[in-house]
Structure 1
Amino acid sequence: MPDAPVILADEPGSFAHGVLAARHPALIRAVRDAFPYDPGQRRALDALLTSATEGVIEPLGTDADEHWAAWGARRYLGRSWFEVPFLWSESYFYRHLLQAVGYFGPGPWQGIDPFRPFKLAELDAPETDEELAALDRLTGQSEQEQARALLHGSLWGNRADLGFRLSVPGATTAVSQLVADDSEALWTLLPVDTVCLVADNAGRELIPDLLFLDHLLCHGRARRALLQVKPYPYYISDATTADVVDAVRRLTAAKGAAADAGERLWAALADGRIDVRAHPFSCAPLPYADMPEDLRAQFAAADLTVFKGDLNYRRLVGDRLYPPTTSFAETTAYFPGPVAALRTLKSDVIVGLDAATEAALVAAEGQRWRTNGTHALVQVRP
């Protein structure tokens, strides 16, 4: 929708401004303290902190991959981080952070995920034990009841987002509400031969995503699954292949129904019924409407694609200030096949609401409902 303005971060007090001005500095400090980085890495992190808050967008170093030139890096060099599209500046910040810690090498820190301590802490949290124990209570319920419970587990698991909690502490305990619910339409699209899940966060969110896929495979709602993850660490808690392995191991080390699911998932990964993929465009600062043809072909080959989480939603519909009543079907019309979004709201972009729902939310909360993580949606375009 070309008339909807692209979201920027140049307005003090806005959600986007807060991410760049507060969340990113907090993340740099947390990463700096999480590893015994050498003096050069620490200087690079300090320089990024200054650049991201007071300076301008600078080029990546010699380890920069070729994609960023195509993704608009030259267009924005020398400009304030706050004055370029919010989605772009966020993504470029994370690419700079990985460069600062030597992730892309060469050197001894090559491939070391700077967010790994936070992800592992999520997996080891008491809340994870409680959530896994709850699976035992599902075993006596009908398949339909199990399916609905696991769908909602996947939906609300996004509230465990580490980056979100850096800037909205305590939000995961607030009252929750579905602002749009096309879940019945989702069930009518199943069973399928191939379902694709575009994953969002690792840890406590990825586990319910995997459990949802396990249920679809076990009960004949899908024959196989494609699991799209990030090719490298991104947005602090976004899932990579290593995070998938960690999550499945966490399940297999549990007891009862969780362990059984972990064994099934391990087997499904090993025999190809779950196919993990990591396309470079998964870390692009662009909407999926701009996806390359090879990725479009992958999505077109699936019978249903499910986008998880807030960032993927922003990229699916476009990171713009749409009127909330804008049609979800129209904003996703470019996508090559049936598509669903499972999202906890943690940023300004939103489409697909009816007018009465929007009015009630604004009357009750102003605009806070868009970003405080206490509302969610299930949206489907067949």
Structure 2
Amino acid sequence: MPHKPHPPKPLRGAEPNTWAHSTITERLPEIVHRVIQENKFSAVIENALKTLYNEIPQSPIRFLKDTSAPDAEAWETYIAPHTAQNWLEVPWFFAEHYLYRRIIEAVRYFEIRQDPFIRQKQRGLEISLGAIESLAAKLNAWLGKGNVTKAQLEQMLTIDLWGNQADLSLWPADDKEKPHHANPKQAQQYVLADDREKASQYLTGLKRQKARVDFLMDNAGFELVTDLALADLLLSGKLTGTVKMHVKAHPTFVSDALASDVWGAVYTLKNGNHPEMRLLGERVYAHLMEKRLDLIPNFFWNSPRAFWDIPHPLRQELEKTNLLISKGDANYRRLLGDCHWPFATPLAKILGHFSAPVLALRTLKAEVAAGISSPEVERAQKTDAHWMTNGRWGVVQLTN
């Protein structure tokens, strides 16, 4: 059996003056309200959503009612330890995943297959078309010159890192307050752990066509396109033979990517008005058709479980990879079990139970982190009181 870490206590909404507390008391009800406002559901579904809205945060956690759902049995085991607790008393990671699973129950997703967040996802892609055109042009130019360089790979990792700032559970698609950096020089100042050079060196040293890279996918919209661009650079640049993208099995965290979101983004690229965008879309479409790029949904990524509790068959599959790229905040929190690790704890120590190298690309949106040196933590604390939650700060961390 893999050696599991001995984690500290998990974050909980009951901790006063924390992002976890404000998330549960303010953001989660607002997300439910937005689902009601943005969809034309039946009165029965609207009433179920309103009931959910009114439960947060003081009502006790209850078992799911859609007992015929494909994940119902698993959720019964997740919920059982928490039925005497309210939303603030349970671990924060559980509360958030439970919220989205309750939305799935309320909208009868497994019956009607209507994504309650689809409008936000589509809008997030639409408002990013200009940035996508620029990215496609840059990528096409690189690939047109022949061999991919380490400098190009580092730049693509940077683009993919900051693409993670697009998180619709925090900032709706049209929110003008969402974080961004004015230029690359400014963005560099906000990187607290930087293994881009090591990662590019590792990727360029793989056994090319025999190599495999896996992504733990995060947001749809612009971030998804940056993920596809990185995958295309690896595949078209012949740095790796296959790429596996692990996506969510049902809608969650508003903008998290499903397989259908990936296909939707590819068709948007392939049928776009801009020739550079179409060229990128055609290459990615070919990767999918030829199975060099594969999409793999799994209910574990919708669960409230820590990464060290990954089911054995999924662990076996993931450990075949040459590199697991963990995208975004929620995946990072899963890697750490969403626990109060000291910031300087090496990420490799926490992930010692997993045999494959992991590359974490994450902008910070939660009060949990590891592998950040004390001087860098002090610098962030002095510069920005909300450095852990506002999405302006990032890490690129490689365990190898």
**TM-score, structure 1 as length reference:** 0.94
1:173 corresponds in structure 2 to 180
1:169 deviates by 6.3
Q: For 1:318-357, what aligned pairs fall within 5 Å after superposition?
A: 318-357=337-376
AA partner of residue 185 (structure 1): K
Superposed CA offset, 1:263-316 (max 9, x none): 111111111101110112111101110001111011111111100000000011
Larger deviation, residues 61-70 vs 113-122: 61-70
**DSSP-derived class of the 2:137 partner:** helix
The match for 2:75 among 60, 68, 73 is 68
Q: Matched residues in 2 for 1:128 and 1:349: separation?
A: 32
Instruction: Tell me, yes or no, if the aligned pair for 2:25 and 2:57 is still in contact at 8 Å.
Output: yes
Q: Matched residues in 2 for 1:183 and 1:130: separation?
A: 22
2:136 corresponds in structure 1 to 135
Instruction: Tell me, yes or no, if the aligned pair for 2:319 and 2:356 is still in contact at 8 Å.
Output: yes
Q: For 1:8-87, what aligned pairs fall within 5 Å after superposition?
A: 8-63=12-67, 64=69, 65-70=72-77, 72-87=78-93
2:390 corresponds in structure 1 to 372
The match for 2:114 among 107, 112, 115 is 112
Stretches of structure 1 lacking an aligned partner (at least 5 in a row): none
2:202 corresponds in structure 1 to 189
Superposed CA offset, 1:24-80 (max 9, x none): 11111111011111111111001000112332212210335111123x211111311
Larger deviation, residues 299-308 vs 164-173: 164-173
Superposed CA offset, 1:72-124 (max 9, x none): 2111113111101110111011100111111122xxxx211101111011111
Q: Matched residues in 2 for 1:25 and 1:53: separation?
A: 9
1:344 deviates by 0.7
**DSSP-derived class of the 1:210 partner:** helix
2:164 corresponds in structure 1 to 158
The change in CA–CA distance for 1:348 and 1:49 in structure 2 (over 3 A counts) is same
Q: Matched residues in 2 for 1:79 and 1:253: separation?
A: 49
The change in CA–CA distance for 1:312 and 1:76 in structure 2 (over 3 A counts) is same
Q: Matched residues in 2 for 1:186 and 1:201: separation?
A: 22
**DSSP-derived class of the 1:172 partner:** coil
AA partner of residue 330 (structure 1): K
Instruction: Tell me, yes or no, if the aligned pair for 1:299 and 1:336 is still in contact at 8 Å.
Output: no
2:14 is the counterpart of 1:6: no
Instruction: Tell me, yes or no, if the aligned pair for 2:136 and 2:280 is still in contact at 8 Å.
Output: no
AA partner of residue 238 (structure 1): D
Larger deviation, residues 172-181 vs 230-239: 172-181
The match for 1:97 among 88, 92, 103 is 103
Instruction: Tell me, yes or no, if the aligned pair for 2:267 and 2:281 is still in contact at 8 Å.
Output: yes
The change in CA–CA distance for 1:206 and 1:189 in structure 2 (over 3 A counts) is same
Identity of aligned residues (%): 30
Larger deviation, residues 139-148 vs 287-296: 139-148
2:311 corresponds in structure 1 to 292
The change in CA–CA distance for 1:206 and 1:137 in structure 2 (over 3 A counts) is closer
2:221 corresponds in structure 1 to 203
Instruction: Tell me, yes or no, if the aligned pair for 1:341 and 1:380 is still in contact at 8 Å.
Output: yes
**DSSP-derived class of the 1:343 partner:** strand
AA partner of residue 20 (structure 1): I
Q: Matched residues in 2 for 1:338 and 1:240: separation?
A: 24
Instruction: Tell me, yes or no, if the aligned pair for 2:164 and 2:363 is still in contact at 8 Å.
Output: yes
Instruction: Tell me, yes or no, if the aligned pair for 1:158 and 1:309 is still in contact at 8 Å.
Output: yes
1:276 corresponds in structure 2 to 295
Superposed CA offset, 1:153-188 (max 9, x none): 111111111012159961413664111100111122
**DSSP-derived class of the 1:305 partner:** strand
The match for 2:154 among 148, 154, 179 is 148
Q: Matched residues in 2 for 1:132 and 1:22: separation?
A: 36
Superposed CA offset, 1:240-277 (max 9, x none): 00000011111112223321111111111111101110
Instruction: Tell me, yes or no, if the aligned pair for 2:165 and 2:180 is still in contact at 8 Å.
Output: no
1:318 deviates by 1.9
AA partner of residue 92 (structure 1): Y
1:307 corresponds in structure 2 to 326
Instruction: Tell me, yes or no, if the aligned pair for 2:195 and 2:397 is still in contact at 8 Å.
Output: yes
Instruction: Tell me, yes or no, if the aligned pair for 2:154 and 2:197 is still in contact at 8 Å.
Output: no
Query: How many residues get paired?
Result: 375
